[in-house]
Homo-oligomer: A and B are copies of this chain.
Amino acid sequence: MGAESLDLLREKLQQDPFARALGIRLLLLEKGLARLEMPLGEHTRNFLGMTHGAAIFALADQAFAAACNSHGERSVAFNVTISFLAPPRGDRLVAEARELSRSKNVGVYHIQVNDADGSAVAEVQGLAYRRSERT
């Protein structure tokens, strides 16, 4: 995927309706690597007053989607596993997705979600299936 294609993907990601509603912003996108952030606030809370697990997942999943589509082939998530370590502190989360390995049709990604202090909030592993069509 050339620099132009990455630019196109960046633009598309910024317009993702679900991610936009959560204020998710793309910080970095390279082949097999993506970094995104999300502000925390009232809208990301659950009924116990904590950050909702699904908000943490949303940021991780968006980072996963960015990284696994960075090769120019359209990829679809098959399985995602998230382990929650500790409730976040501070006003935002940062997620970084990295490609662990790729076979012909399948790619595996690790996504780490940290809070504003740099403390680990969640560790995520995602499995994606690659299709031959262009993104």
Chain A interface residues (CB < 8 Å from chain B): 12-13, 15-19, 21, 42-48, 52-55, 57-58, 61-62, 65, 74, 76-86, 100-104, 106, 108, 110, 112, 120, 123, 125, 127, 135
A106, B119: Cα distance in complex, Å: 13
| New A-B pairs, 11, CB < 8 Å, besides A18-B52, A19-B52, A52-B58 | A16-B46, A21-B43, A57-B58, A57-B61, A78-B83, A81-B82, A83-B125, A85-B102, A101-B120, A108-B123, A110-B125
**What 6 A-B pairs come out closest when comparing CB atoms?**
A101-B120, A54-B58, A18-B52, A16-B47, A81-B81, A108-B123
User: What are 17 A-B contacts defined by CB distance under 8 Å?
Assistant: A12-B48, A16-B46, A16-B52, A17-B42, A17-B44, A18-B46, A18-B54, A46-B65, A48-B74, A57-B58, A57-B61, A78-B78, A79-B84, A80-B81, A86-B106, A100-B112, A100-B123
